[in-house]
Chains A and B, each alone.
Chain A
Amino acid sequence: MHRLASYSGRLRYAADNLIWLWLALAAIASSITFFLDPNALSTNIIGRALHPLDFIWNTGFGLSGLLILIGILRPRPEIEAAGLMVFSAALILYWGAILAVIGTAQVGVFAYPALICAAILRVFAMLRLAQEAKSARTTRE
């Protein structure tokens, strides 16, 4: 039985990770916007230059957004961690695409690496937590 199975426990966990919940929703929204009209110039100027890579990173955004959302709301840390890594992969691809097409003339070029680092650091923290939980379980047994 999961210790955070109660409604208030889940709500508390979601509130603690509100920033990641928000990023997951933003990633899903970005993906939906792309797939509604993949050829739209206004939202996909970089993707049109690097087709079909835009399908890959937008799929990554949608998938990772869903995984993070499920991982936080359930909560299932392993799903959340996988979502964060997929999010980082999609974001690093998008970051490279911006650098290749536009160069450094965009603020996002400096913001995305921070997001990638934050997501990877969070996964490392979760791995450490899993290791501690394993040690505690082994000690109890």
Chain B
Amino acid sequence: MNFALVGPIVGACALLVGAVIAYRKIKPESDNMIGSATEAVTNAAVKMIETQRAEINGLRERVVHLEANLATTHEIEERLARTEAERDAAEAACERLIHRVEELVGIIRAAGLHIPPEPLPALQNPRQAGSGRRTPQ
């Protein structure tokens, strides 16, 4: 008999005792333990699906909110474009008016009519002039 085998023999005996214990402990639950494991996995999967569904609903609400914001942004952009067009039209009208006033001043001088002692204030583009105030007479 090899003494090196004493350890493995004792271990094997312990494992055989363990086999009996495991058998007796598992047997009463044998009918439903695999089923319960399957049930636990299914419940975990269902819970995960519900969590993801809630996240998807939250994201959907955010998308609706963002779409509303986008519509408002488009509206603001359109209003801005209209305002810019109106401003351009006003600038063009102003340019035409300045030209017309300069022509009238020329006509008045040529006719030798009364000309104010001081020349008319230089008319400028309102954007360049800032406030565009008239010089008091």
Contacts and interface: CB of A to CB of B under 8 A. Distances in A.
Interface of A: 1-4, 13, 50, 53, 60, 75-79, 81-86, 88-90, 92-93, 95-97, 99-101, 120, 123, 126-127, 129-134, 136-137
Contact of A77 (B8, B12, B18, B26): B26
Contacts of B25: 127, 130
Given A92-B12, A93-B9, A133 B36 contact: yes
A100 B5 contact: yes
A96 B16 CA distance: 16
B116 interface: no
Majority SS at the chain B contact face: helix
Interface string B25-47: 11111111111111110000000
B33 to A, nearest CB: 4
Given A86-B19, A93-B5, A96-B7, 7 more contacts: A3-B38, A81-B22, A89-B15, A97-B5, A97-B8, A99-B8, A100-B4
28 contacts: A4-B34, A50-B2, A76-B30, A78-B22, A78-B27, A81-B19, A82-B19, A82-B22, A89-B11, A89-B13, A89-B16, A92-B11, A93-B12, A96-B4, A97-B5, A99-B8, A100-B2, A100-B4, A126-B33, A127-B26, A130-B28, A130-B29, A131-B29, A132-B40, A133-B32, A133-B37, A134-B28, A136-B36
